Every structure is written in structure tokens, then in C-alpha cells.
Amino acid sequence: EGRAFVLAKVPLKERYDVAYGGEARIHTPHMLIERIQEKKRRLSCVVDATLRRPGDFHDVGDWEDWDVERVELRKDARPCARFRDAVPLNKDLDAAVVACGKAWKHPSVVVFLSVDGCNTAGLCAVATLIDLCGVAPLDAWNGIRAARPIFSEGHVALLNERYPGNNFGCDAAPAWYGPRVEGDAEDDPEIDDEPAPPQKKRERADGDDGPSAD
């Protein structure tokens, strides 16, 4: 009780506000944490499943300001048409499950972050339900894909390798995912070619220890 995970799109730096529709649509690490706090919950761990360089999307030090553990997944060697279709290393998926179990020693929330909030985040969620919670593989698979489709062939292939005999199959890609477009920022390895701004440490008043525990 009091333990949960959330699948989410990766938060962005403030400098992305022009490209992504203005300040009203900005979704930063601090905003994510505060939204969870509003629900009287505590965010204890973030699994960064974007498979990109640290800091490409936001300042990873923001999590440390709130005493949130961050676990980073790395890309495996299998080919993919675009970077957002990349698949994590199987051993890193193991590390994500272990981090989730550690976080859940106390009532808290774990967030799985990916570029689209679906494929890699969903893969982490399915593995966590199976390996940590003891849910039957097909029940875990159907439960997650009912909320977030898993439509990358590479991700489904990894699930079938990890949990043989279940014959997981790809969902159809949603219309918003769209075809690969040349110059797509998500596929550009130089997306963060500007130097990172200096870290802004959060000022804490006396007695303020960041996120409150449940």
C-alpha cells in the first residue's frame, strides 16, 4: 500500500518552451515532483529510460535537489530506425527493477521516463510487475498496454527473450507517433549542443527537507 509507479514523458528544460508550445506546456522535474506532492505522495526514484546522454532533456541535478534517486538505462546494440525506438540493455532493465524494489521499501512513487512515455517506460513497468510484484507475464503485459501501447518491435523482442513462451506481440503504433522525419529533434544526437546552464540549487528554509513522506 502506498507504492506506485508512473509512466511519463521525459521532463524538459525551460529552453524548450518555444519549440514545444510556450511556457504553459513546460513540464520540468520540479513540476513533476510538485504534482506528486499535491497528491500527498513522495517521489523516491526516477528511472531515466530515454537512452540519451545525461542532460539532453533537463538538468539531472534537479532530482538530487529533491533527494530523488536517478537510475539511467543505456541503449543496447540492436539496430533501430530512429533513436526513440532504441531498446535498453537487459542488465540495465534488471537494475531498474532493483531500484524500484529499493524505493518501495517505504511508501513512495517511482517514475519511468522515456521520450514517448510508452515503449521503454512500458517495458520497465512490465518487468517490474513480473520480477518484483510476481504478476503473471501476460497479465502484466495486458495491464500496461491497456494504458500505454508498446509498439516497438525491438521492445517486444526483448520481452520475448526475457520471458520466453508468452508470445508478446506488437501493438499498432498510434497516429501521433508518425513516420520518421529527417531532422526530427528526437533523432538528432546533437540535440543538446549548447553548454548546460549553471546548476541552480534549490534554497531550503529551516525545517524544509524537500518532498514529504507519506
For the segment 38-65, what is each residue's pLDDT rounded down to a tens digit?
Answer: 989 999 999 998 888 777 888 888 898 8
Judge whether residue 141 has pLDDT over 90. Answer: yes
* C-alpha pair distances (Å), 202 with each of 65, 70, 160: 6, 17, 43
Inter-residue contact 124 to 150 (CB < 8 Å): no
**Measured between alpha carbons, how far is 164 from 75 in angstroms, rounded to an integer?**
22
Q: pTM of this prediction?
A: 0.76
For the segment 161-182, what is each residue's pLDDT rounded down to a tens digit?
Answer: 999 999 898 887 777 666 554 4
Closest to 96 measured CA to CA, from 121, 117, 76:
121
Confidence band of 112 (pLDDT split at 50, 70, 90): very high
Mean pLDDT is lowest, of 10-19, 139-148, 157-166, for: 10-19
Q: Tell me which amino acid residue 36 is.
A: I
* C-alpha pair distances (Å), 139 with each of 109, 145, 156, 162: 21, 10, 15, 15
Mean pLDDT is lowest, of 39-48, 79-88, 136-145, 180-189, for: 180-189
Whole-number pLDDT of residue 53: 79
Residues 116-146 as b or e (16 or more Cβ within 10 Å = b): bbbbbbbbbbbbbbbbbeebebeebbeebbe
Inter-residue contact 74 to 51 (CB < 8 Å): yes
Confidence band of 131 (pLDDT split at 50, 70, 90): very high
DSSP assignment of 34-83 equals HHHHHTT--EEEEEE-S-S-TTSSS-THHHHHTT-EEEE--B-SS--SSG
Cell 504534482 belongs to: 35
**Measured between alpha carbons, how far is 89 from 84 in angstroms, rounded to an integer?**
14
Judge whether residue 140 has pLDDT over 60. Answer: yes
Whole-number pLDDT of residue 181: 47
172 vs 120 pLDDT, higher one: 120
Query: Please, what sign has the CA dihedral across residues 39, 103, 166, 178?
Result: positive
Whole-number pLDDT of residue 94: 94
For the beta sheet containing 69-72, the strands, ordered from the edge strand earlier in sequence to the opposite edge, are 4-9, 109-114, 43-48, 69-72
Whole-number pLDDT of residue 186: 43
